[in-house]
Amino acid sequence: MGTAHSTDLQAALTAFMQRRLADFAGLPPNARIDEARRVLGLGADDEGRGSVGSARHEAQWQSLDEQPLVLWHRAKELVLLDFEGPFDDLDVLGPLGAPAARLDVNWGMASLPEGEWVYPERGVAVVVSPQGLALRLIGFAPVSLEAYQRDLRRNPKPRPMPAPKKVKP
């Protein structure tokens, strides 16, 4: 792998993890999971499997211990960064402007109408609460809106609260 590509990936990961949206222009094309692991000091073991996109592409994931950041990859390609907040200090509209789309998204137990603000040409999406608080950041290589939805987007079903345990009298 060339040094320029390694530098591009390191710069992208750093900007994303520091929530500097003005400096994050998406993952570099053909970003590799092994290079991301090297940059972040991670081992080579995946923690789980799941799917990405409406096409339900099989993918593997690994998380960072000290931050709520999950790296998703398909084969050797790093395809998605998923950083869960909330981020009290994050201004989305300032550096990014108006999103290309606002998609309905599931968040925890609820659905947020128009809560996922997608900037496909910038390689970023942000889940935003009705009060304007950034709840989750998603990073990927720049693509069309259609490609993001088909190949990358994660929108898990709402997670219901566990039923309260009945106490016997």
Residue pLDDT, tens place only, 102-132: 999 988 788 899 999 999 999 999 999 998 8
**pLDDT value, residue 95:** 86
E strands along 2-132, which residues?
Answer: 48-52, 57-63, 69-74, 77-87, 101-107, 110-119, 124-128
What global pTM score does this model have? 0.86
In a domain, 17, yes or no: yes
**pLDDT value, residue 166:** 60
Give the total number of structural domains in the chain.
1
**pLDDT value, residue 102:** 97
In a domain, 91, yes or no: yes
d(CA 161, CA 159): 7
Q: Which range of residues forms the domain containing residue 110?
A: 3-151
Residue 102 contacts residue 116 (beta carbons within 8 Å): yes
Side-chain-side CA neighbours of residue 84 (13 Å):
10
> What residues of the chain score a pLDDT lower than 70?
1-6, 158-169
Helices (H), the chain: 3-17, 33-40, 93-96, 145-151
**pLDDT value, residue 66:** 78
In a domain, 160, yes or no: no
In a domain, 76, yes or no: yes
Dihedral of alpha carbons 53, 20, 159, 50, sign: positive
In a domain, 104, yes or no: yes
In a domain, 161, yes or no: no
d(CA 23, CA 7): 14
Helix (H) or strand (E) holding 54: none
In a domain, 158, yes or no: no
In a domain, 163, yes or no: no
